[in-house]
Amino acid sequence: MLAASSETLVEKHARYVLSPWIAQKGARPPVIVRAHGSTLVDADGKEYIDLTAGLVAVNLGHGHAGLAAAIGEQAGRVAFSPPAWGNDRRAELAERLVHLVGWPNGGRAFFTTGGADALDDAAKILRLATGRPKILTAYRSFHGSSAGASSMTGESRRWPAEPGMPGVVHFLAPYPYRSPFSTTDPHEETKRALEHLELILSYEDAERIAAIVLEPIVGSNGIIVYPDGYLAGVRKICDKHGIALVFDEVMTGFGRTGAAFAAHRFGVMPDVIAFAKGVTSAYVPLGGLLLREEIAGYFDDHVLWAGHTYSGHPVAMAAGVATLDAYRDENVFEKGLALEGPLRDGLERLARAHRSIGEVRGVGAFFAIELVKDRKTREPVVPWQGKDTGVMATFNKSLRERGAWVLTRYNFAAIAPPLTIEKGELERGFEALDGALGDLEKALG
Ligand X SMILES: Cc1ncc(COP(=O)(O)O)c(C=O)c1O
Q: Which one of the spans 182-190, 246-254, 355-363, 365-373 is the region binding ligand X (CB under 6 A)?
A: 246-254
313 vs 373, beta carbon nearer ligand X: 313
CB of 48 to ligand X, least distance (A): 20
Q: Which among 5-13, 178-186, 248-256, 432-440 is the span making contact with ligand X, rule CB under 6 A? A: 248-256
Among 53, 70, 93, 116, binds ligand X (CB under 6 A): 116
In the set 135, 225, 250, 289, which binds ligand X (CB under 6 A)?
250
Say whether residue 283 binds ligand X (CB under 6 A). Answer: no
- Cβ at position 338, least distance to ligand X in Å: 24
Considering the rule CB under 6 A, would residue 417 count as an interface residue with ligand X? no
Question: Which of 89, 90, 143, 361 contacts ligand X by CB under 6 A?
Answer: 143
User: Based on CB atoms, which residue is closest to ligand X, 134 or 143?
Assistant: 143
**Residue with smaller CB distance to ligand X, 276 or 315:** 276
Near ligand X in 161-220, by CB under 6 A: 215, 219-220
Pick the closest to residue 100 from 286, 365, 325 (CA basis). Answer: 325
Nearer to ligand X, 217 or 295 (CB): 217
Tell me how far, at minimum, the Cβ of 53 lies from ligand X, in Å. 12
Cis preceding-peptide flag for 163 (omega within 30 of 0): yes
- The only residue of 42, 248, 359, 370 in contact with ligand X, by rule CB under 6 A: 248
Half-sphere exposure of 248 (CA within 13 A, CB side): 30
Residue nearest to ligand X (CB): 115
DSSP state of 62: B
Confirm or reject binding of residue 222 to ligand X (CB under 6 A): no
Within 205-330, residue ranges assigned H as helices are 230-241, 262-266, 293-296, 314-329
How many residues in the shown chain lie near ligand X by CB under 6 A?
16
- Answer for the pair 431, 346: CB distance below 8 angstroms, yes or no: no
144 contacts ligand X (rule: CB under 6 A): yes
Q: What is the DSSP string of 69-95?
A: HHHHHHHHH-S---TTS--HHHHHHHH
> Using CB under 6 A, which of 48, 110, 111, 142 touches ligand X?
142
Closest separation in Å from C-beta 357 to ligand X: 23
Of 143 and 428, CB closest to ligand X: 143
Closest to 358 (Cα-Cα) out of 376, 341, 338: 376
Q: How far apart are CA 67 and CA 338, in angstroms?
A: 23
Nearer to ligand X, 260 or 372 (CB): 260
Stretch that binds ligand X, among 61-69, 113-121, 199-207, 416-424 (CB under 6 A): 113-121
Instruction: Considering the complex, state which of residue 270 and residue 403 has its C-beta at the smaller distance from ligand X.
Output: 270
Q: Compute the least distance from the CB of residue 306 to ligand X, in Å.
A: 16
How far apart are alpha carbons 24 and 249 in whole angstroms? 30
Of the candidate spans 97-105, 122-130, 244-252, 391-399, the one that interacts with ligand X by CB under 6 A turns out to be 244-252
Contacts 24+ apart (CB under 8 A), 226-230: 226/173, 226/174, 226/190, 227/174, 227/176, 227/186, 227/187, 227/189, 227/190, 228/186, 228/187, 228/190, 229/187, 229/190, 230/173, 230/174, 230/189, 230/190, 230/193, 230/194
Helix (H) or strand (E) holding 428: helix 423-444
* C-beta closer to ligand X: residue 119 or 123: 119
Task: Report which DSSP code applies to 278.
Answer: G
Contact pick of 30, 61, 114, 346 for ligand X (by CB under 6 A): 114
Nearest distance in Å: CB 286, ligand X? 9
DSSP 8-state assignment for residue 137 = E
- CA-CA distance, 300 to 102, in Å (whole number)? 21
Is residue 359 a contact point for ligand X (CB under 6 A)?
no
Question: Can residue 276 be called a binding residue for ligand X (CB under 6 A)?
Answer: yes
User: Toward ligand X, which CB reaches closer, 30 or 253?
Assistant: 253
135, 170 Cβ separation under 8 angstroms: no
Residue 226: how many CA atoms within 13 Å on its side-chain side?
28
Nearest to 263 by CA among 102, 93, 96: 102
Neighbours of 4 (CB within 10 A): 14
Please answer whether residues 362 and 339 qualify as being in contact, where contact means their C-beta atoms are separated by less than 8 angstroms: no
In angstroms, the CA 219 to CA 105 distance is 29
Q: What is the largest CA-CA distance in the chain?
A: 67
287 binds ligand X (CB under 6 A): yes
Amino acid at 370: E
Contact set with ligand X (CB under 6 A): 55, 114-116, 119, 142-144, 215, 219-220, 248, 250-251, 276, 287
